[in-house]
A and B are shown apart, each in its own frame.
Chain A
Amino acid sequence: METEKFSYDNKIVKMFAYATLLWGIVGMTVGLLIALQLVFPVLNFNFAYTTFGRIRPLHTNAVIFAFVGNGIFMGVYYSLQRLLKARMWNDTLSRINFWGWQSIIVAAALTLVLGFTSGKEYAELEWPIDIAIALIWVVFGLNMFMTILKRRERHLYVAIWFYIATFVTVAVLHIVNSFEIPVSLFKSYSFYAGVQDALVQWWYGHNAVAFFLTTPYLGLMYYFIPKIANRPVYSYRLSIVHFWALIFLYIWAGPHHLLYTALPDWAQSLGTVFSIMLIAPSWGGMINGLLTLRGAWDRVRENPVLKFMVVAITCYGMSTFEGPMLSLKSVNAISHFTDWTIAHVHIGALGWNGLLTFGILYYLIPKMFNTKLYSEKLANTHFWLATLGIIFYALPMYWAGLTQFGMWRQFTPEGFLAYPNFLETVTQLKPLYALRSFGGALYLAGVFVMLYNVVKTVKAGNFVDNEAAEAPALSKEYTAHAGEGWHRWIERRPVQMLLFSLILISIGGLIEIVPTFLIKSNIPTIASVKPYTPLELQGRDIYIREGCNNCHSQMIRPFRFETERYGEYSKAGEYVYDHPFLWGSKRTGPDLHREGLKYPDSWHYNHMLDPESMSAGTIMPAYPWLHTSELDTASTPAKINAMRTIGVPYPDGYEKIANADLVYQEQLIIKNLEKDKIQALPNTEIIALIAYLQRLGTDIKADKEQAQK
C-alpha cells in the first residue's frame, strides 16, 4: 500500500500549551487571593470588583474552563492527530477554536467581575457567552470528528472514545443547563425554577466534573502514560468495561449534591446508589493507569514527568473513592456546606488535573521543541512543591470541615445550640484557612518554577510548526482478524460510537429530571407562597450580582441542629418562583432561607455598610456601594415580563404599574429606617436588597398563621 506524507499541526498544540500555563497562573493566583480574603477580610479592598462573592466564580471558572479547558485542547490536539495518523481536519477551525476559547475566557473574567452572572455554580456566565461557548465547542467537535472520519488508522484507540464521549456529553449538559430567558444583554433568568433548577444545575455541575475534568483527562492519561513510560496499556478489556460503565453511571450521580434538601427522596437515593456504583468504573481508569507502569517503576523514581503522572492518578483514585463516600447520607450531612467539599474538589483539581497537566507539559514542551528539559532538578522541585502544596491545602480543609460541623451540631444539655452564634464556627477556622493559603501558595510557587523551566527550555529549543509524518492510507476493504473481539466493531465506527454514547448518557438524566416536571407530587405547592414584589425581585438580582450565594445557602436541611439555628426546614414548594434557585453549596456565612424579619431593616442597612459594626470579628466584606448606587428601575418591566414568560403568575399588564409598587414598598422601608435614625438615600440598591432579605422564607409563616385561625 502506498504511504502518504502529511504533517502534524504542532503550532496549535503550542498555542494551547501557552494558554494553559497563562490561565493556570491567573486562576490559581485568584484562588490564593480569595483564600487569603477569608483570613484577612481587608483584602476585599472595599471595592465591588474584588469582593469574594464576585471573584470566587472567577477562580472556579478560570481553573476549570481556562486552565483545564486549554489543557484538554492541548492534549487532544496533540494526541488525536497521532492516534489517527492525520493532521487536524481544518487549520482555520483549530484557530477559531483557540481564539474563540480565549475570547470567551476574557469575556468571562470581565463580566464576572462586573457582576454579570446567572448565579448558577460553574455556569455563571451570561447568555451571550453561553451561546459563544456552545458555538466554539461545536467547532472543536466538528474539527475533531472530521479528523476522525478522514483518519489513517482503522480503529479508534481508547483515548478517542473518551474524547468523543466528552464532546457529546458536555454539549448536552451545557445546552440543557443554559436554558434561560434574556432580560437584557447581560441579564437572564434560568428557565427552570427552584427544585427543578437545582436538579438540572447539579446534573450539570456534577457532570462538568465528570465530563470536563475526568473523561477528557482519562483520555489524555491513556495516551501520555504509555507514551512516556514506553509500556503497553495494562488491560484492553478493562478499558472497554470501565469506559462504558463510567459514562453510563456518571450521569445519574448529580443528585448527591442535593442530599437532605427539598429534592424528592427518590431522586436523592438514585444519586446515592449510582455514586456508589461509580467506584469501580472510576477505579478502572486508575488501575489501567498505574498498572501500565508495571515494569517501569524504577524509571518513576528518576523521571519527574512520571512522578507527576503517578501522583495525579493516585489523587484521582482517592477522590473517586471519596466522592461516593460523600454521597452516603450520613457522610454528606457533614461534608455538605462545609470545607470538606472544598478539600475534596481540590484533591481532584490540584492533584488529578493539575499534576497531570504539568506532567504533559513537561513531556510535550521539550518534545515539540526538539530539545531536552532545561532542568530536571527544577521539575523535581516543582513536583515536591506541588505535592506539599496539596497536603497543606487539603488537610486543614478536612479538619475545618469536621470542626465546623462538630460545632454546628453541638447541643448543650439544656437543649440549646452550643455555638448559637454562627460566627464563632467561622472564626474558629481562621488558622486553618491561613494554613490552606500557605498550601495554595506553595502549589502556585511550583507553577512559577515550571514557568521558568519552560521558558528556558523553549529558548534552547527549535520549534517545528508542522511535524512531518507518513502513514499508509486506509483501504476501503476491511477483513476482520480471526478471534477479533466484538468491541472492535464499534471501534471502527465513530458515528455509531458517538450515537451510542449519546444514548447512554441521556438515560440517567431523563429518568431523573423529567418526572420533576411532569409529576406534581414531587414539588407540593404551598398556597401562601407568592411571587416576589418588583422591589424584592430587584433586590434578589443584586443578591445574585454580588454573589451572596457563594457564601450563604438558602436551604435549611431537616436536622435538629439546623432548624434550631435557622427555623423551619425548607420545603420544595417555597422555591417555585426562584429563577434561578439560590440554595448555595457552601456556608462560609449562615443560611439565609429564614432570614426574613429576623432582624430589623436597620440591622441589614448597617450590616451591609460595615458588617463589623453588627457582628464583631466577621469576615464578611462590606458593601458600601449599595448604599449610594441608584437602583435600575428601568429594567423592572422587562424583568416582570421575562418572569411571566417562564411561568411566574404576574398579572397581565403588571409590568406597567410594577414600578409604582416598587416605590411604595421602598418608602415603607425608608420610613422604617428613619425610626432607627437612619437617613437612607431614596431609590438606592440597599433598599431593594433589604426588601429581598426581609422576604426570605417568610411566606410559609403566613400559611401557618392562616392555619391557626
Chain B
Amino acid sequence: MNPIKNIIQKAALSASMLILSGNLMAAEAPQVPWRNLKFASETSTFWFLSGLALLLLIMIVVLASVLKSIVSNKDLWLKRGAGNKAASVILVALMTLPATSAFAQAASPEATPLIVMTEDIFWVLVAVNFVLLSLLFAILLLIKNLLKSLKAEEVAEVVPVEQDIWTGALNNAVPVEREGEIMMDHEYDGIRELDNNLPPWWIWGFYFTIAFAGVYLTYYHITGKGDLQIAEYEKAMEEGRLQKEAFLAKSGAKVDENSVVVFTDAAQLEKGKETFKTYCAACHGQAGEGGVGPNFADEYWIHGGGIKNIFKTVKYGVPAKGMIAWEAQLTPVQIQEVASYILTLKGTNPANPKEPQGDLWSEGGVPAAQPDSLAADSAKAPVAVNQ
C-alpha cells in the first residue's frame, strides 16, 4: 500500500476524533460563570482568543498524529536507511511537544473555568496562541519536508552523504559535494547560482520579527496597555519625587527659607566656600567682588540681605536677571552653607569691586525699601524654572 495514502487516512481518522472531543470541550465552556466582564468587546475578545487557541490545539494534535504515523511506519524508514540524522533528532523533540501542549491545555484558561477575564489573561491567551501557532507551522514544515523526501525517494535512490549539523539541520542546505543538483541553469559573466532552501532559522526569525511587530503595535496602540512616552515620563517623575522625599525625611536635611540659620562652624563654611568657587564665582567673582552678578562684599543687597533672603534668592533664583534657581542642583544644606559663606564676605574689600547695587541692609533691621519685591520674584520663580 502506498505509505502516503495510508498516512492521509490515519490523519483523517484522528482529525474527526479530535473535532469530536473539541466539541465536547467547547460545549462545556459556556456554562462557566464569567464575572466582571463589563464590556461586550472584552467578552468577545476572550472567546475569540480562546476559540483560536482551541482550534490551533486541535490542528496541532491532528498534525502530530500524522507525523506519528509517518515516523512509526517502519517500512518507510527501513528503506530510507540512516540518512538524515539531524532531522530525526528534531522529529523526536517535536514528538514530545504535543504531549507538553496537552499539559498546557490542562493549565490553559479554557480548561480552568473559575478565572475572571483580566489583562493578564488576555496576554496569556495571546502568548498561548502565539506559541501554538509557531508549533503548528513547525509541524507543517516538518511534514512538508518529510513528504518531499519520501516522494523523492520513490523516484530515485538517494546516495547518502554525511551532513554536518550546520549546513544540514541549521541551514537546510545541500552539501557542497552535491550542489550540482541544485545548480540553476543560468549564468552571468561566469557567475552561477545555487537554489538552496531558505535557512529555517532565518525564515523563522523573520516570522518571529513580524509577530513581534504585531504584538508591539497591539500592545502600545490597540489595547493601550503599554505606556507611551508621556505616561512613562510622568511615572518616572512621580517615582523621583517619592524617592527624594523619602530621602530628605530620613536624613533630616529638610531646611527651607523659614527655618534656615547661619552656620558659623569652620568646616561648614569651608564647604560653603567650595560650593561658591564651583558655582558662584563665575558671575560673582572669586572673592565675591561681583562681575556679571552683584558684589557680595558690600552692604547693599538687591533682593534683601540676611541668611533667609540669601537662602531664598539662591534657592529660587531670579530668572529674569539671569540668576539660576539652584534648588535643582544644590541640596538645602548646601544652600545653607553657601549662604552662610557669602555672609562672611561682608567688608572683606576685595580687589576690583563692582559698584554697590540694591539697598543698604542692616542685620536685624528692616530693608530700606521694597520688602515685598523678593517675595514677588520668588513666588514667580519656581513656576518659570520648574515647569
**Interface of A toward B, CB cutoff 8 Å:** 79, 82-83, 85, 153, 155, 157, 223, 226-227, 232-239, 241, 245, 260, 265-266, 268-270, 272-274, 276-277, 279-281, 283-284, 287, 291, 294-295, 329, 411, 413-417, 420, 481, 558-560, 563-564, 567-569, 597-600, 602-603, 614, 676, 701, 704-705, 708
Contact = CB atoms under 8 A, between A and B. Distances in A.
B191 interface: yes
A280 B209 contact: yes
Which of the four size classes fits the interface of chain B? 35 or more
Nearest to B216: A273
B195 A603 contact: no
A560 B328 CA distance: 12
Contacts of B23: none
Interface stretch (B31-39, B49-57, B229-237): B229-237
Contacts of A676: 292
A708 B213 CA distance: 43
Nearest to B179: A232
A417 B244 CA distance: 12
Given A294-B176, A481-B185, A603-B292, A558 B196 contact: no
Given A155-B186, A291-B171, A291-B173, A265 B198 contact: no
B110 to A, nearest CB: 30
Nearest to B202: A280
Contacts of B243: 411, 413, 415
A526 to B, nearest CB: 14
A295 B331 CA distance: 68
A88 to B, nearest CB: 15
B328 A83 contact: no
Contacts of A569: 233
B193 interface: yes
A354 B321 CA distance: 53
B290 to A, nearest CB: 11
For the residues of B in contact with A, the DSSP-based class is: helix
A559 B191 contact: no
B79 to A, nearest CB: 27
A235 B195 contact: yes
B248 interface: yes
Interface of B: 167, 171, 173, 176, 179, 183-186, 188-199, 202-203, 205-206, 209-210, 212-213, 216-217, 220-221, 228-230, 232-233, 236-237, 240-241, 243-244, 247-248, 251, 253, 282-283, 292, 319-322, 324, 328-331, 383-385, 387
A39 B317 CA distance: 35
A549 B253 CA distance: 41
Nearest to A296: B176
B224 to A, nearest CB: 11
A227 B213 contact: no
Nearest to B196: A235
Contacts of B230: 558
Contacts of B213: 273-274, 276-277
Contacts of B192: 226, 232-233
A564 B183 CA distance: 63
B195 A415 contact: no
B216 A233 contact: no
Nearest to A239: B193
11 contacts: A83-B189, A232-B191, A233-B192, A238-B196, A273-B217, A294-B173, A411-B243, A416-B328, A417-B329, A558-B229, A567-B385
A269 B216 contact: yes
Contacts of A481: 185
A157 B191 contact: yes
Given A295-B176, A564-B328, A414 B189 contact: no
